[in-house]
Amino acid sequence: MRGVGRLYACLMVLFLLSPLVVVVILSFSSTSFIAFPPRGWSLRWYEQLVEDTQIRESLLFSLQIAGIATVLALLIALPTAVLLVRHRFRGRNMLRALALSPLVLPEVLLALALLLYMQNGLHIRPSIWTLTVGHLLVIFPFSLQLISSAMGDLGPELEEAGITLGATPARAFWLIAIPAMLPSIAAAALFSFIFSFDNVAISLFLSVPGHVTLPVRMFELANTTNDPSLSSISSVLILAGAILMAVLGRFKLFDGVVNARQ
């Protein structure tokens, strides 16, 4: 039975990875249209990808938005986690539910609500900062959940010991709690960055005139072209995602994710 279970697991992994393999194979096609299996092999689509200024600008813009949103999410999630984990007050559960609510709301509905509120309620025109706020709203629950879980597992005992030895509460938190939670904080940063970078719905509704994120650019290419150029972009992103997953596994950052889900 153990052998059957392993065989089943391997077949399921192959089934889940098969679309990614097809995308990578298509990126080396020499034809000007999508056909599988490819009729010839070429690197023309990767050469075109390097020369495409629109793709390069969209990539840099996505990295900028994801980086700013991730830093803001961590800066807000850390004190919020301290408030929710280390303190007991009326409305604590409601505050936690409110902070995690973007996880249960459809992204399209959330994006539409943000667009209507910013335009009709606040009378704010779309800009880089409105788009960043939208991404921040989506990724904040991931950072909060991971950091809160790590803080709950750590407990206040080590910090209290540091305080008894003469450290201030802030210094004890910075020198004891932060290093102990560093793997979970790093995991929160990586996952938040990935979810922000890959976001389509928020970026599509809150798009900035003259600036398009890479996922939105890929969405436009999927609707207007039928060549393997989209496969070359996807293959690069697949490689980048695999590298990030390897980093998570290498530094055991998945531990913080597992604890958060528990």
What is the tens place of the pLDDT at every residue in 22-57? 888 888 887 777 777 777 788 878 888 888 888 888
What pLDDT score was predicted for residue 261?
A: 43
**pLDDT band at 107; cut points 50, 70, 90:** confident
What pLDDT score was predicted for residue 252?
A: 61
Q: What is the torsion angle, in degrees rounded to the nearest 10, for the CA atoms of residue 255, residue 256, residue 258 and residue 260?
A: 160
Q: What is the mean pLDDT of residues 152-160?
A: 75
Q: Look at the block and give the residue holding tokens 């528990």.
A: 262
What pLDDT score was predicted for residue 75?
A: 92
Are residues 62 and 215 in contact, defined by beta-carbon separation less than 8 angstroms?
yes
Q: Under CATH, what is the fold of the domain 19-32+39-261?
A: MetI-like fold (1.10.3720)
What pLDDT score was predicted for residue 199?
A: 86
What pLDDT score was predicted for residue 16?
A: 83
pLDDT of residue 155 exceeding 60:
yes
CA proximity to 203, closest of 40, 195, 165: 195
DSSP 251: T
User: 200 Cβ partners below 8 Å, 6+ apart?
Assistant: 215, 216, 219
pLDDT of residue 207 exceeding 60:
yes
pLDDT of residue 236 exceeding 90:
no
Residue spans of the domains in the chain: they are: 19-32+39-261
pLDDT of residue 262 exceeding 60:
no
